[in-house]
Structure 1
Amino acid sequence: MARVLTVAFLVITVIILSTNSVTLVSQGNAFKFHFKDVYAYRYMFSAAIIGLLYAVIQLFFAISELATRTKSPFNYQLDFYGDKIISYLVATGSAAGFGVSKDLKDTFLALVVLDSTDPVDKLFSRGHASASMLLFAFFCLAL
């Protein structure tokens, strides 16, 4: 059950991040801002993709073990060490997302004169949402 939840949270993270872009208008100039423009969001996206691949592979192994009713010693080690490594990767991705969302939002609002703060709020709220989903995925992996 935890693996299925992990996959669900990671899919939601990938969807939120990949659609996270906004057009900012400042003093008549407009520019498009994507999640790819922020290194921490790229790291979050990479952590989510790697975690998703790992979770899907582990889900496949779990289903095949249930079908054959056998478990090799290799799978025990893969479960233990793989879950540790991937969960730490996902946790650091989540932490990076929370930190950069807070810092960049304050910086944008302080340095750039915007006609409206709604696009900035929307962009970084999605960053917070995807970081939250990564954090939930970490809890499911660590479980």
Structure 2
Amino acid sequence: MSLNKPYQKIPGTTIFDAEMSRLGYHLNQFCMSLMKAENRARFKADERAYLDTWDMTEEQKQSVLARDYNRMMATGGNIYFLAKIFSCDGLSFQFAAATMTGMSQPEYAQMMLTGGRPPKGNTYEGVQ
């Protein structure tokens, strides 16, 4: 039974709640495994084979292989766990956030330095 979730009406926003936590449990456990050097080495040696050792959905595995962080979040990934993947790739949090917004890293950095995204279009549906 799903609870009333008014935050679902914020365009482009994925909220990591209890339901998403259950959905992404194995994806997030995989991410946490990358904290160990030997697991990072196994993952980098054969990403698909390492992913297949985890009880993730095929969509989750494909999103990891594609480094599609938005899709990972939509399938239950928590951004702080997903950080282990882009860190494993030698990328910064800022770089990953930029890819999730469709911006280059310099564009994203400038947007954040000038106050972030404007509220218009980024609030609850029906609010101006």
Same fold (TM over 0.5): no
TM-score category (smaller protein):
under 0.3
- Normalising by the residue count of structure 2, what TM-score does the alignment of the two structures yield? 0.27
- Of structures 1 and 2, the one scoring higher in RCO (CA 8 A, sep 6+) is 1
**Higher CA-based Rg:** 1
- Normalising by the residue count of structure 1, what TM-score does the alignment of the two structures yield? 0.25
- Pick the structure with more strand per residue: 1
